[in-house]
Amino acid sequence: MCELSLNDYINEQCQLVDAALDSLLPAEDESPETIHQAMRYSIFAGGKRMRPVLCLAAAEACDGLAVNALVPACAVEMMHTYSLIHDDLPAMDNDDLRRGKPTSHKVYGEGIAILAGDALLTEAFAVIAQVDDTERYTVRDYVKELAATGGSKMLIGGQVLDLEGEKKGLTAPDIRAVYEGKTAALLTASLRLGAMSANATEAQLEAITEFGYNLGLAFQIIDDILDLTASTEELGKTAGKDLDAQKSTYPALVGIEQARIEAKLRTQAAMDALQAFTPEKRARLEEIADYLLNRKY
Amino acid sequence: MCELSLNDYINEQCQLVDAALDSLLPAEDESPETIHQAMRYSIFAGGKRMRPVLCLAAAEACDGLAVNALVPACAVEMMHTYSLIHDDLPAMDNDDLRRGKPTSHKVYGEGIAILAGDALLTEAFAVIAQVDDTERYTVRDYVKELAATGGSKMLIGGQVLDLEGEKKGLTAPDIRAVYEGKTAALLTASLRLGAMSANATEAQLEAITEFGYNLGLAFQIIDDILDLTASTEELGKTAGKDLDAQKSTYPALVGIEQARIEAKLRTQAAMDALQAFTPEKRARLEEIADYLLNRKY
Express each pLDDT in A194-247 by its tens digit. 999 999 999 999 999 999 999 999 999 999 999 999 887 777 777 788 777 778
Residues of chain B with C-beta less than 8 angstroms from the C-beta of A122: 121, 147, 150-152, 156
Within 10 A of B294 (CB to CB), how many other CB atoms are there? 11
Residues of chain B with C-beta less than 8 angstroms from the C-beta of A150: 122
Residue B95: what are its φ and ψ, rounded to 5°? Answer: -110, 135
DSSP-assigned letter for residue A62: T
Within 10 A of A130 (CB to CB), how many other CB atoms are there? 17
- From A11's Cα to the closest Cα of chain B, the distance in A is 30
Interchain CB distance below 8 Å, B86 and A114? yes
Closest residue in chain A to residue B149, using alpha carbons only? A122
Q: Is A243 on the interface with B (CB under 8 A)?
A: no
The pLDDT of residue A233 is: 79
Q: Which of A87, A160, A170 to mutate to test the interface with B (most CBs of B within 10 A)?
A: A160
Interchain CB distance below 8 Å, B114 and A114? yes
Q: Is A36 on the interface with B (CB under 8 A)?
A: yes
Closest CB to B139: pick one of A140, A150, A161: A140
Q: Is the pLDDT of residue B260 over 90?
A: yes
pLDDT tens by residue, B241-259: 877 777 889 999 999 999 9
pLDDT tens by residue, B107-120: 999 999 999 999 99
Residues of chain B with C-beta less than 8 angstroms from the C-beta of A36: 152
Interchain CB distance below 8 Å, B129 and A150? no
Residues of chain A with C-beta less than 8 angstroms from the C-beta of B182: none
CB A120 within 8 A of CB B121: no
pLDDT over 90, % of chain B: 89
Q: Is the pLDDT of residue B1 over 70?
A: no
Interchain CB distance below 8 Å, B118 and A86? yes
pLDDT over 90, % of chain A: 89
Residue B97: what are its φ and ψ, rounded to 5°? Answer: -130, 135
What does the pLDDT average to over A106-122?
A: 98
The pLDDT of residue B233 is: 79
Q: What is the mean pLDDT of chain B?
A: 95
The pLDDT of residue A1 is: 60
Q: Is the pTM of this model over 0.95?
A: yes
Interchain CB distance below 8 Å, B143 and A143? yes
> Which residue type, as a one-letter code, is found at position A147?
A
Interchain CB distance below 8 Å, B110 and A91? yes
Q: Is A129 on the interface with B (CB under 8 A)?
A: yes
Interchain CB distance below 8 Å, B35 and A157? yes
Interchain CB distance below 8 Å, A129 and B152? no
The pLDDT of residue B245 is: 76
Q: Is the pLDDT of residue B284 over 90?
A: yes
Q: Is the pLDDT of residue B13 over 70?
A: yes
Q: Is A164 on the interface with B (CB under 8 A)?
A: yes
Interchain CB distance below 8 Å, A163 and B128? no
The pLDDT of residue B121 is: 98
Closest CB to B35: pick one of A128, A152, A177: A152
Q: Which of A156, A161, A193 to mutate to test the interface with B (most CBs of B within 10 A)?
A: A156
Q: Is B136 on the interface with A (CB under 8 A)?
A: no
The pLDDT of residue B237 is: 77
What is the distance between the alpha carbons of residues B73 and B146, in angstroms, rounded to a whole number? 11
**DSSP string over chain B:** --SS-HHHHHHHHHHHHHHHHHHHSPPTTSSSHHHHHHHHHHHTS----HHHHHHHHHHHHTT--GGGGHHHHHHHHHHHHHHHHHHTSTTTT--SEETTEE-HHHHH-HHHHHHHHHHHHHHHHHHHTTPPP-SS--HHHHHHHHHHHHSTTTHHHHHHHHHHHTTT---HHHHHHHHIIIIIHHHHHHHHHHHHHTT--HHHHHHHHHHHHHHHHHHHHHHHHHHHHS-HHHHSS-TTHHHHTT---HHHHH-HHHHHHHHHHHHHHHHHHGGGS-HHHHHHHHHHHHHHHH---
Closest CB to B140: pick one of A92, A139, A148: A139
Q: Is the pLDDT of residue B225 over 80?
A: yes
Interchain CB distance below 8 Å, B129 and A110? no
Q: Is the pLDDT of residue B232 over 90?
A: no
pLDDT tens by residue, A16-74: 999 999 999 999 999 999 999 999 999 999 999 999 999 999 999 999 999 999 999 99
The pLDDT of residue A231 is: 83
Closest CB to A125: pick one of B36, B109, B143: B143
What is the distance between the alpha carbons of residues B99 and B81, in angstroms, rounded to a whole number? 11
Its sign, for the CA torsion A94, A96, A101, A105, is positive
pLDDT tens by residue, B152-209: 999 999 999 999 988 788 999 999 999 999 999 999 999 999 999 999 999 999 999 9
What is the distance between the alpha carbons of residues A59 and A194, in angstroms, rounded to a whole number? 5
Q: Is the pLDDT of residue B77 over 90?
A: yes
The pLDDT of residue A29 is: 97
What does the pLDDT average to over B61-73?
A: 98
The pLDDT of residue A97 is: 93
Residues 84-123 of B with CB under 8 A from A: 86, 89, 91-92, 109-115, 117-119, 121-123
Q: Which residues of B12-30 are buried (b: 16+ CB within 10 A; e: fewer)?
A: ebbebbbebbeebbbeeee
Q: Is the pLDDT of residue B52 over 90?
A: yes
Residues of chain A with C-beta less than 8 angstroms from the C-beta of B159: 115
Q: Is the pLDDT of residue A12 over 80?
A: yes
The pLDDT of residue A105 is: 98
Q: Is the pLDDT of residue B146 over 90?
A: yes
Interchain CB distance below 8 Å, A122 and B123? no
pLDDT tens by residue, A140-187: 999 999 999 999 999 999 999 999 988 788 999 999 999 999 999 999
